[in-house]
Amino acid sequence: MYDLVIIGSGPAGMAAAVYAARAELDFIVVEKDISGGQILETSDIDNYPGYQNISGFDLAEKFRAHAEACGTEIIEGMKIEDFKQIEGGFELLFDGAKTIETKTILIATGANPRKLGCPGEEELAGAGVSYCATCDGAFFKGRETMVVGGGNTAVEDAIFLARFCSKVTLVHRRDSLRASKNLVTKLQSLPNVTIIWDSVVEKINGEGRVSSVVLKNVKTGETTDYPVNGVFVAVGTKPNNLGWSGKIPCDESGYFIAGETGETQIPGIFAAGDVRTKNLRQIITAAADGANAVYRIEQYLAEMR
């Protein structure tokens, strides 16, 4: 029986692996796909300390190399189906009927941004289409950008981008924003922000880079080709909670309810990174989560003895 099984190999999982190795825990990391997590899809990262500019792929490689240098075993291609509580811990069931027993579980499976699903979105992701204004906004200094969404995140993104973009256009499918009133008031006071109501993105155009967006008015059906350099999609995120929201308490959006220690409401099961309830989902906060969770797991294991 392992001391710990870490599910997921993104920043939270790899940071947890480094700390688990340093604590001399008997552990493994399991990943259903290839190691790296969401950052593999990020072309440029300039807000992770120590790297003024690095690709997501390269940073993921460095995370993995560090964890492996500490002796971490990473098993890829293992899709988890379920878990059950057993004496002294848990049994994890994997696709193919393989089982692993462990005293604790750390879920670090992250979350994925909800997408628009329109033509051009997938093709231009990382080439003008972004799902994180905080991550990628600085690359659009002095340029025209568009934010799609109507909640707090979308409005906060538009306010953030307005600091350095020449023009920011917020597009929302309804005729009023769902964001808090104070944010809306601040947004509407900015001279370089325009709001387009009752509209959805039909298509994102560009040859290698975003050049324009086709907008459709949901009331009139009229379409407009709107020139823009970047599109920031802020229509929510979807946690990769493994379908366990019925077994481990989650909030209404499906994120595991867990604080800074990573403890869920099931003793012995922890959550770290974007899959847990938190205010800021970034590489740096995911890595910090992994460290905090393992620190608490060490204490938990000591208490079990």
**What residue segments make up the domains of the chain, in order of their start?**
2-112+237-304, 115-233
Q: In CATH terms, are 2-112+237-304 and 115-233 the same topology?
A: yes
The residues carrying an active-site annotation are 132, 135-136
- pLDDT of 300 > 80? The answer is yes
The model's pLDDT over 117-152, given as tens digits with 9 standing for 90+, comes to 999 999 999 999 999 888 889 999 999 999 999 998
User: Residue 197: phi, psi to the nearest 5?
Assistant: -90, 165
Confidence of residue 88 (pLDDT cuts 50, 70, 90): very high
pTM above 0.85, yes or no: no
Instruction: Evaluate whether the domain defined by 115-233 bears CATH number 3.50.50.60.
Output: yes
Instruction: State the architecture of 2-112+237-304 in CATH terms.
Output: 3-Layer(bba) Sandwich (3.50)
What value does the mean pLDDT take over residues 65-81? Answer: 93
- Tokens 């290698």, residue? 208
The model's pLDDT over 163-181, given as tens digits with 9 standing for 90+, comes to 999 999 999 999 999 888 9
Q: Are the beta carbons of 50 and 43 closer than 8 angstroms?
A: no
